[in-house]
């Protein structure tokens, strides 16, 4: 009897070796308020993942690529032991945000991205860079302002240099918002209870998040085909 049980155990182990269970994907989101569950695309993105896939949102409102690291949030994100980490900064790296947050897209911003990449890889995590989604700010002629383009271009450059996947949310969101125009894109901003005439053109309402998240998922599917199976199908053209 014991010999039979031992033989069956060996056979089961052999089958497990031939057909190993797929590794569980654990995605951690890192970034500023535009990535958070409450004011960004984070929650809506998590809803596009298939059951069994974990998504931990470690984005922090007001964070820049500098302040997020300095405050220890990056260390806490890596402590979640993600298989993949999506990294999106830029909005609070811009001039006027104060020395504790500002970075130069040509120098310090790129250095910060390189540090995130190197430390993620050292921790056994695959880093994926995400370009900042556009602000929904239009000029007098109805043309979308793209003041975050220098930071988006810096992300693309570092991604190519370090051979890292990039989700070009800046380009995809620009395409979408340009198509919608200033009036139709108003609903993408969260309501302002104190003054209904004020429109938040940076953060996202639930409707805005549900429009932006599929763009992230579609770009991620192209950038990292290995994890495309954990993403639910998005609408045609996304």
Report the distance separating Cα 46 and Cα 125, nearest Å. Answer: 19
Question: Residue 56 in contact with residue 82, Cβ under 8 Å?
Answer: yes
- The fold for domain 25-230 equals Rossmann fold (3.40.50)
Q: Where are the domains of the chain?
A: 25-230
Using a cut of 0.95, tell me whether the model's pTM lies above it.
no
Mean pLDDT per 10-residue run, the chain (238 residues)?
44 45 83 98 97 97 98 98 98 97 98 98 98 93 90 98 98 96 91 75 95 97 95 67
> How much is the pLDDT for 158?
98
């Amino acid at each position: 009897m014991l010999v039979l049980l031992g033989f069956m155990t060996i056979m089961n182990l052999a089958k497990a070796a031939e057909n190993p269970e797929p590794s569980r994907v654990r995605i951690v989101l890192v970034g500023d308020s535009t990535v958070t569950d409450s004011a960004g695309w984070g929650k809506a993105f998590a809803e596009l993942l298939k059951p069994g896939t974990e998504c931990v949102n470690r984005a922090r409102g007001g964070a820049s690529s500098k302040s997020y690291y300095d405050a220890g949030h990056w260390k806490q994100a890596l402590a979640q032991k993600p298989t993949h980490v999506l990294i999106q900064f830029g909005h609070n790296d811009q001039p006027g945000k104060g020395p504790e947050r500002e970075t130069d897209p040509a120098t310090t911003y790129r250095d910060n991205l390189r540090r995130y990449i190197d430390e993620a890889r050292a921790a056994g995590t695959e880093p994926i860079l995400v370009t900042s989604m556009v602000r929904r700010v239009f000029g007098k002629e109805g043309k979308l302002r793209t003041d975050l383009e220098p930071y988006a271009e810096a992300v693309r450059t570092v991604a190519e240099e370090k051979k890292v996947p990039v989700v070009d949310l800046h380009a995809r969101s620009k395409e979408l918002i340009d198509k919608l125009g200033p009036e139709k894109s108003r609903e993408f901003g969260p309501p302002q209870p104190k003054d209904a005439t004020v429109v938040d053109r940076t953060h996202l309402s639930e409707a805005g998040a549900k429009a932006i998240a599929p763009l992230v998922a579609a770009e991620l599917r192209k950038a990292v085909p290995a994890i495309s199976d954990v993403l639910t199908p998005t609408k045609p053209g996304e």
